[in-house]
Amino acid sequence: MDIQTLRRQGLDENKIRELYLYKVPSLKTCDNWGAVKEIGLLEFHGKHATYNGALIQYGENVYFIPNSRLEALAPYRKWHFKNTISVIKEVDHKKANK
């Protein structure tokens, strides 16, 4: 998912919709960690997954990095996260109408 699509659809003012968070891939490998840009820290326990880490931008795409990977890379790359991303939960309309 590229940054323009994510910002247009779900990432505004340090908030992301739960549905779009589930579509953000996890960054497994990277050739140039110096080119990674920090977007914000994220902690969310959802119905389908638990996110405890950060959203970053690498190239034109947005990725999720878990805290374990951030800590493992800390000796080699300094992280400077200024924002905390909050997640807007999706409303279950079936339960809301009861």
According to DSSP, the β-strands at 84-88 and 50-58 are unpaired
Summarised one tens digit per residue, pLDDT across range 57-73 is 898 888 999 999 999 99
Residue 29 belongs to some domain of the structure: yes
Range of the domain at 10: 3-88
Phi, psi of 21 (to 5 degrees): -60, -40
The residues near 82 (Cβ < 8 Å, ≥ 6 apart) are 38, 40
Residue 98 belongs to some domain of the structure: no
Summarised one tens digit per residue, pLDDT across range 28-86 is 888 999 999 998 999 999 877 899 999 998 988 889 999 999 999 999 999 999 989 88
Q: How many domains does the chain have?
A: 1
45 touches 38 (CB < 8 A)? no
- Classify residue 60 by its DSSP letter: T
Residue 12 belongs to some domain of the structure: yes
* Residues 83, 89, 93: CA angle, nearest 5 degrees: 160
CA distance 34 to 31: 9
Residue 97 belongs to some domain of the structure: no
Q: Tokens representing 32?
A: 């140039």
The predicted model scores a pTM of: 0.81
